[in-house]
Structure 1
C-alpha cells in the first residue's frame, strides 16, 4: 500500500474526496492541504475511503479540520463511509461546540433589567425554599428512624468538620481576641480602665465574634468542600445513580453533612470563645493587667445567658452553611467549570446567610432584653 494520498472528483456542486494509502502521523497531509483543493462552488463533500489502508489519529485530525471548515462554509460533509469508530470520534468532536462567552444584549430599559433580576431572584428563592423543605422532611424521617442515613457517614463528616478544623479556628480566634483587646485599649487607656478590656474581649467573643468567625471559617472550609464533593458526584452521574436505586439524595448525602455541622459548630464556638479570651489576655498583660485580674473580670462580665446566645447562633449557622454548600453542589452543572462555580456560590451564599442571620439574632436578643 502506498503512502497517504487523496484526490478530488468534482461534479457541479458536489465533489468526492477520495482518501487512499496509509495515513500515519508525520506522513499525511493536513486538513488545510485538502480543503485548498476543493472547488469554491462545492456545496456537498462525499468522503470515499475504498482505497484506504492503515490509519491512525492523523486521519481523524485531518477529517476534523475538514468538518469544521465545511461547517464554517455551509458545506455538507458526508462521512457515512468512514469506519464506525472514526465516525463516533468526529461526531463527538463536532456535535459539542467550543465554549464561547455569552454575548447577551443589555436590557433596553431599567424596567427590563429590574424585571429580569426579580425573576431570577424569585426562582432562586423558590429553589432554596424547596431544598429547605426537603431537608426538613428528611430530618423528621431521621428523628423517626426511617431515613436512609448511615451513622458512619455522620461520624466521618464530624471528624472532617471538627478536629481537622481546630488549627485554623485556633489561629483566627486568638488573633481576633488580640485585635478586640487592642481596639478597646485605645479608649480604655485614656480613662485609666485597662482592666475592663477583659469585659470587652469576653463579651465580644461569647456573644458575637466566636460564633460568627467560626461560621465564616467553616463556610470557606467545609461549605466549599461540600459543594465540591456533591458537584463532582453530579458530574460523574453518581447522584442520578442513587435516584435510580431509590435512595433519596437528601437523606443519603445532605443530612449527614448537616448533622455533622450541627453537632460540631457549638463545640467549635466554645473552643473559639476560650481561645479568643486567651488572646485577649496576652494583650492585657502588656497593659499592666495581671492574669488573675483578667480572669476575675471575665467571670464578672460573662454569664451563662451570654454563652448560650453564641451557642444558639452557632447551631443555626451550621445549618445555614450545610444548606448553602449542599444546595450549590446538588444544583451543579455537568463539567469541571461548574464544580468550581458551585464551590464559589456556596461560600458566597453561606456568608450572606450568616450575616443576615447574625443581624436577625442580634435584633431578636435586643427585643427580648438578652
Structure 2
C-alpha cells in the first residue's frame, strides 16, 4: 500500500497566490498521513486566493482524509482563502460541505450576575422553599388528622420499630449529654453564687434550667443529628432506588407509609427522653453541688421548692413541638433528595441544619409566648 504524500505547487499572480496540492497514495486510517507543516508554509506565500486539491497516482481515501482537510481549513482560516475540492472525488466534497454546515461551537463569555439579580434569585428560591414547606406541613397535618381519626394506614409494627430506633437506642448518648449539661450548669451557677454565699441556690438554677429549657432543647438537638439525619438518609436512598416512585405507582401514599410512622415515633419518644434528660441533668448538677459543701438533702429540698408542675409541662410541651419539627426536617429532606449518592449526603446535611434552625426559632418563639402568658 502506497504511503500518503502531497505536493504543493504555487501558481503566482500579482499580489495573489493560488496553490494546488496534489494528494497521492493511501489517505486511509491504516496509513500515516503527512504532517501539516507543508500546509502551514502556505501562510508565507502572501495573500492566498485559492487552495485547490487534486488527486495523484494510486489515490485512495476514507473519513480520515476529511479530518485532515478540516484541520487544513482551520489552519488557513486567517487567510480567508477558498478551498477548491473539485479535483477530488465528489463524495469528498459532499462530506466536506456537510461538515461545515454547522459552525464550530464557541464558548460564550462568562456572565457574572449582578448583586441585584443574585438577591432576586435568592429571594425567589426562598419563596419556593417556603411554599414547599407549607405544602409539606399541610399534608403532614392532614395525615396526622386522618390517623387520629382512625382513618390512617400507618402500621403499628412500623411505629414500634421506629420508636425503638429513636428511643431505647438513643439512651446512651442522651445519658451522657444530660449528666454533662447538668454539671456545666452547676459549675456556672456555683462560680457566681459563691460570691454571695448562696451556693445552695445552685439547685434552683439547675432544676429550672433543665426542666424548662436545656432538657428539651439539648435532647432535640441530639435527636436531630441522630434520628433526623437517619430519616433523611433512609428516604433519600429509597428515592435514589426509585422505591418511593414504586409506592406511588401502587397507590400507596408516601406520607402515610413512610412519613407518618416516623413522625409518630418521635412524638412518642422525645417527650419521654426529655423527662429522662431532666432527671439526669439534675443528678449531674447534684454531683457538682455536693462536691462544694452542699449536701444531698439540701440540694433535693431546694430542688423540690424550685420546680413546679408547670415548669415540667412547659419542657414537655416544647419536646412535642420539637419532635414534629425534627420529623418534618428529616422526612422532607429525604423525599426531596436527588437521584445520586451525593444527593443523599446533601439531603442528610440539609436535614440536620434545617432541624437545628427550626429548633432554635421555635424555642425562641415559645419562650416569648410563655413569658407573655405568664407561664
Q: TM-score, normalised by structure 1?
A: 0.74
Question: 1:241 maps to what in 2?
Answer: 246
> Quick one: which of 273, 280, 284 aligns to 1:279?
284
Question: What's the secondary structure of 2:30's corresponding residue?
Answer: strand
Question: 1:261 maps to what in 2?
Answer: 266
Question: What's the secondary structure of 1:40's corresponding residue?
Answer: helix
Question: 2:54 maps to what in 1?
Answer: none
> Quick one: which of 315, 322, 333 aligns to 1:317?
322
Question: 1:344 maps to what in 2?
Answer: 349
> How far apart are 1:365 and its partner, in Å?
0.5
> How far apart are 1:39 and its partner, in Å?
4.8
Deviation by residue 1:121-165 (Cα, 9 ceiling, x = unmatched) = 000000111011111111111122222211100000000000000
Does residue 30 of structure 2 align to residue 7 of structure 1? yes
Alignment: residue pair count: 287
Does residue 214 of structure 2 align to residue 209 of structure 1? yes
> How far apart are 1:357 and its partner, in Å?
0.2
> How far apart are 1:12 and its partner, in Å?
6.6
Does residue 296 of structure 2 align to residue 291 of structure 1? yes
On the 8 A contact 1:9/1:15 being kept in 2, the answer is no
The list of structure 1 runs, each at least 4 consecutive aligned residues, that deviate by more than 6 angstroms after superposition, is 8-13
> How far apart are 1:186 and its partner, in Å?
1.0
Between the aligned partners of 1:333 and 1:364, the Cα distance in structure 2 is 38
> How far apart are 1:362 and its partner, in Å?
0.2
User: Over the residues paired in the alignment, what is the CA RMSD in angstroms?
Assistant: 2.3
CA distance 1:106–1:278, change in 2 (3 Å): farther
> Quick one: which of 142, 148, 158 aligns to 1:143?
148
Question: 1:120 maps to what in 2?
Answer: 125
Deviation by residue 1:52-77 (Cα, 9 ceiling, x = unmatched) = xxxxxxxxxxxxxxxxxxxxxxx99x
Between the aligned partners of 1:299 and 1:232, the Cα distance in structure 2 is 49
Question: 1:332 maps to what in 2?
Answer: 337
> Quick one: which of 224, 232, 241 aligns to 2:237?
232
Does residue 105 of structure 2 align to residue 108 of structure 1? no
1:295-306 matches, cutoff 5 A: 295-306=300-311
Question: What's the secondary structure of 1:41's corresponding residue?
Answer: helix
> Quick one: which of 68, 73, 85 aligns to 1:40?
68
Question: What's the secondary structure of 2:68's corresponding residue?
Answer: coil
Question: What's the secondary structure of 2:178's corresponding residue?
Answer: helix
Does residue 157 of structure 2 align to residue 134 of structure 1? no
Between the aligned partners of 2:256 and 2:112, the Cα distance in structure 1 is 42
Structure 2: segments with no counterpart, 5+ residues:
1-28, 34-59, 72-98, 101-108
Deviation by residue 1:327-358 (Cα, 9 ceiling, x = unmatched) = 00000000000000000000000000000000
On the 8 A contact 1:184/1:197 being kept in 2, the answer is yes
Between the aligned partners of 1:106 and 1:260, the Cα distance in structure 2 is 48
Deviation by residue 1:169-228 (Cα, 9 ceiling, x = unmatched) = 010010000000000011100100000000000000000000000000000000000000
Between the aligned partners of 1:335 and 1:105, the Cα distance in structure 2 is 29
Bigger Rg, structure 1 or 2:
2
CA distance 1:227–1:105, change in 2 (3 Å): farther
Between the aligned partners of 1:13 and 1:164, the Cα distance in structure 2 is 70
Between the aligned partners of 2:338 and 2:302, the Cα distance in structure 1 is 54
Q: TM-score, normalised by structure 2?
A: 0.73
